[in-house]
Amino acid sequence: MSGSRQPAAVVDRVVVPAGTTASEAVKAAGLPLTGPKAIVVVRDETGRLRDLDWTPEVEVHVEPVAIDSPDGLSVLRHSTAHVLAQAVQDIFPEAKLGIGPPIENGFYYDFQVARPFQPEDLAKLEKRMQEIIKLGQVFRRRRFASLEEAKAELASEPFKLELVDIKGDGGAGQGAGIDTSEVMEVGGGELTIYDNIDPKTGKRVWGDLCRGPHLPSTRLIGAFSLLRSAAAYWRGSEKNPQLQRIYGTAWPTKDALKEYLHLLEEAARRDHRRLGTELDLFSFPDEIGSGLVVFHPKGGVIKREMEDYVRRRHIEEGFQYVGTPHISKEGLFHTSGHLPYYAETMFPPMQMEGANYYLKAMNCPMHNLIYRSRGRSYRELPLRFFEFGTVYRYEKSGVVQGLTRVRGLTQDDSHSYCTPEQAPDEVRHLLNFVLSLLRDFGLTDYYLELSTRDDSKPDKFVGSDEDWAVATAVLEQVALDSGLKLVPDPGGAAFYGPKISVQARDAIGRTWQMSTIQYDFNQPARFGLEYQAADGSRQRPVMIHSAKFGSIERFLGVLTEHYAGAFPAWLAPVQVVGIPIREDHVPYLQSFVDKLRAEGIRAEVDDSDDRMQKKIRTAQQQKIPFMVLAGDQDAADGTVSFRYRDGSQRNGVPIDEAVAHVVEVVRSRTNEGPSAA
RNA sequence: GCCGGUGUAGCUCAGUGGUAGAGCAACCGCCUUGUAAGCGGUUGGUCGUCGGUUCAAUCCCGACCACCGGCUCCA
């Protein structure tokens, strides 16, 4: 979610004369030091952010950074995290400090406390934070003369000591994932603490090991809110103790905070789990088990429309539709190489006739068997298999979530077998195809991620360095050629090869990982896949895995949130509902609806004994694209009257024209409207 | 899997150590209506499951299941 971030105003550099503070220079340049556009830090000539009380020894040119710029917001949030930590230690003196970095739209701080935080605690902490902010405490940077000095001062903070020790190691051996640069200058040779000073007394009231920089004063924290608390493993490893994390958000102004909280509300309103119940789309019966969904008739309509369309498009793009079973003997997954890597996340095997059978967690091994079922010629390549393959994965109990993280899912999975020479074109073809499909469903804003091998963890990946290099280069080139933004994801590759994933932004700016394209040189070798080349020799194909939506279930969830349940007409479970003004208008509307049904439109008449206004309300709540009303007037004129979801109307439309209108909107597969506007 | 929270009617939620209530939905009537809730009535719950404490448990305790928020993980 990207909130109301605005691009930083282009500010001229200001000159800080030797021996004076950055603050004085900013002030001399006539820039604000308070208010919603306050300059809070400066960027020096090396690109490093500096506190406003930084006093360079020689004249420097610096770039003022405003509180509402991306960097300024990070500083604001980082400082707010400090205020939170101070409040926590005021109220819970035994609390030990973890780390407290800014994150997108907010911040968090980790603490070790005797008792996990309760919601009431957050309210108390917010109140204490308000007091601290009101005091206008000053953040002051202080440099430790030595590691020993730092350790002596931080003796009562075991986690901070650990961080200092890590630094003492020379910063080496830090694979465990935490960003120590948050608390200290990695490689910068500096160890600093920020003291919080009460401006009235000049006394130090609190302090925290931190690299900074910080706001000049807590007073600049315009608005903040603590959002939730949760446990988090120290330094990100489940082998370490769990600390209690408090998440919060902070903004330069109350209005900006309000706007962000509205966005969160909007996200909650769109939650597909809630809409799935309200619109009667799907449910997760306890009796079946966690993470296993059933689609109700209305959800089934959307799912079928999606599948029908996607199947047709695959066939148009040269894919051949195949089908495979849900279980297999274990040997198959040994051959493919999946079992050693994923045994823990596959459902445990069942024994039958002396063999172990696994529920399948991936489709590719079975597609490989189809490839191998007979000799293949180079003339067949690229050979493209596609299916809706339902797979089962034993997701840990704590991670199952709605449709986005399930234990049974249907992949729109394809595998292209081609020569290494054909691979770049095939990847390009797939990328264009997946983007066109996403566009067809109304997702038009995306960027790419390139997931590569982590060379420091060779046991997580199989294959030679050369093969990885080739595969990665092919994907990278295609990604670059697409012109889309490309974000690296080191270490994110599957064990058998690198991947491109498409991240799509939804209507309220959240991004979701959708399609993936993976280059795999491993499985063809493991399965001994071959084709006969033009010269008669036997050659090894490469295979390219691709899922367009990833999982049909998840994509339906994403679409539900993207459209807030108001699906485009072509996907809507009920496309038209007829609303009679009076009970005796039902037959008139029924004949209209029959005409629509003859055209394949999903239409019905609301013949309940509710009043017309109530029927409109019901149809609105069900987010039905076309409401069609008819009373005496329309019946006499041979017309109907449209009310659309957005409340707009088109009255007195002749029957045939009305039918043609609905049919046109539905068949166009437009993702807009419909509306009279 | 780990930490915390939650679990009462189809949905949203009250409630209490003495075997339960509202609104909406559903059903039955009355009303006959032109663009977001007409009126009345009825039905509906082993209070997530199992065990314990107690004369008595929906309420207290424990285990399990599920969901929510995170962490970790995500072929």
CA of A231 to C1' of B50 (A): 29
Choose one of A70, A85, A114: the last residue of a domain: A70
Residues A88, A35, single domain; the answer is: no
Kindly state whether residue A350 falls inside one of the protein's structural domains: yes
Tens digit of each residue's pLDDT (9 = 90 or more) over A474-500? 999 999 999 999 999 998 898 889 999
Among A353-362, A449-458, A608-617, which is the least confidently predicted range? A449-458
* pLDDT at position A506: 92
Residues A500, A602, single domain; the answer is: no
Residues A336, A378, single domain; the answer is: yes
User: How many CB atoms are closer than 10 A to CB A145?
Assistant: 8
CA distance A450 to A43: 31
Eight-state DSSP code of residue A274: H
Kindly state whether residue A569 falls inside one of the protein's structural domains: no
Residues A93, A219, single domain; the answer is: yes
Q: Report which of A549, A309, A542, A552 is spatially closest to residue A415, judged by C-alpha positions.
A: A542
The domain containing residue A298 runs over which residues? Answer: 282-562
A408 touches strand B (CB under 7 A): no
Kindly state whether residue A638 falls inside one of the protein's structural domains: yes
- Element of type H or E holding A57: none
Kindly state whether residue A366 falls inside one of the protein's structural domains: yes
Q: Could you report the predicted ipTM of this complex, rounded to two decimals?
A: 0.93
Among A110-124, A432-446, A614-628, which is the least confidently predicted range? A110-124
Residues A495, A380, single domain; the answer is: yes
Q: Which amino acids of A are annotated catalytic?
A: 364, 393, 411, 413, 415, 499, 545
A647 touches strand B (CB under 7 A): yes
* Cα A307–chain centre separation: 23
* pLDDT at position A189: 65
Residues A526, A638, single domain; the answer is: no
Q: How confident is the model at residue A167 (pLDDT cuts 50, 70, 90)?
A: low
Q: What CATH number corresponds to the domain at position A315?
A: 3.30.930.10
Kindly state whether residue A55 falls inside one of the protein's structural domains: yes
Residues A66, A76, single domain; the answer is: no
Residues A488, A344, single domain; the answer is: yes
In this structure, are residues A324 and A364 in contact, taking their beta carbons and an 8 Å threshold?
A: no
Measured CA to CA in angstroms, residue A146 lies from A143, A180, A213 at distances of 9, 18, 20
- Element of type H or E holding A387: strand A383-392
A245 touches strand B (CB under 7 A): yes
Kindly state whether residue A120 falls inside one of the protein's structural domains: yes
In this structure, are residues A661 and A676 in contact, taking their beta carbons and an 8 Å threshold?
A: no
Backbone angles phi, psi at A88, to 5 degrees: -60, -45
Give the number of domains in chain A.
4
Percent helix, strand, coil in chain A (nearest 5)?
Answer: 35, 25, 40
* pLDDT at position A183: 56
Choose one of A539, A562, A585: the last residue of a domain: A562
Strand B positions within 7 A of protein Cβ atoms: 1-5, 11-12, 25-27, 29-38, 65-75
CA distance A1 to A479: 24
Tens digit of each residue's pLDDT (9 = 90 or more) over A337-349? 999 888 889 999 9
Residues A304, A370, single domain; the answer is: yes
Q: Which residue is nearest to nucleotide B5 (CA to C1')?
A: A118
Instruction: Provide the mean pLDDT of chain A.
Output: 90
DSSP A624-661: -SEEEEE-HHHHHHTEEEEEETTS-EEEEEEHHHHHHH
Kindly state whether residue A139 falls inside one of the protein's structural domains: yes
* pLDDT at position A32: 85
Kindly state whether residue A632 falls inside one of the protein's structural domains: yes
Tens digit of each residue's pLDDT (9 = 90 or more) over A53-65? 888 889 888 899 9
Q: What CATH number corresponds to the domain at position A633?
A: 3.40.50.800
Eight-state DSSP code of residue A381: P
